[in-house]
Amino acid sequence: MEEEIRKEEVAGYIKSHIDDAILSSEKINDEPRYHHCTSYDMAPSIIKYGFLSAVAQQETGITSYSDDIVKRVLMDDFHVNGNDGISFAVMNLKDLYRDEIEFDPMSPTGVDFIVDIPWRLVRNTENYGNEFVSDLAVDSKYIRYLDLRIKRLLIEELRYDNHDEMVRRYNNIIRISNAIKEYNSGIVLRELSDDRKMYLDYNKIRNYPRIKIKK
């Protein structure tokens, strides 16, 4: 099912549909410490397969990049430290050195998985001062929350007339909701463009029509 809308309707359409899916809201409190940021495109495969190293992604056919692309692109886009480890970020650490960069998993351009991992991760400050690496694959059953910041992103993207990009991300939210329903209904989907948690009804979102811009 697909619905055509005019370019000037994109922002209002997406905002109203996200608002319609809100179940409740609360102030943000303490949560599991590990964050993993990825693209809207890749989020459904993480819900299905969990967090895999770049090598494991290649072996399972999730990705099919050349070795050079794996080394240069995959690590940056999907926050993987090396080809055989999975990176997570811990926020608000007090022991960062002055020259260390802190990775921000809360960028509105990606989705932020909040993960409750029961084993100890190893800190690796080669890329970021707040990066922790798991040598083991992390099953999707450990995902507690999947956070979007789509309303904030709407403001940023539409400032640059990126309507097609917003449509693509909105359609990926529908894919994400379908993946939650099919593979891990325990994941809580949220919208966090401000300082409140907006809990979203993924069952409602998964039944929304995908959209495209009228030509």
Query: What amino acid occupies position 98?
Result: R
CA distance 215 to 205: 25
Q: 63 with 57: CB under 8 angstroms? A: yes
pLDDT at 195 over 90: no
CA distance 44 to 23: 22
Domain ranges of the chain: 2-213
Calculate mean pLDDT across residues 168-173: 96
Predicted pLDDT of residue 58: 75
Predicted pLDDT of residue 194: 79
Task: Find all residues with CB under 8 Å of 132, minimum gap 6, and list them.
Answer: 34, 87, 88, 89, 90, 121, 122, 123, 124
Its pTM surpasses 0.85 = yes
Predicted pLDDT of residue 71: 59
The C-alpha angle with vertex 73 and arms to 67 and 77, in degrees rounded to 5, equals: 135
pLDDT band at residue 155 under the 50/70/90 scheme: confident
Convert the pLDDT of each residue in 7-45 to its tens digit.
Answer: 999 999 999 999 999 998 877 666 788 999 999 999 999
Calculate mean pLDDT across residues 75-88: 64
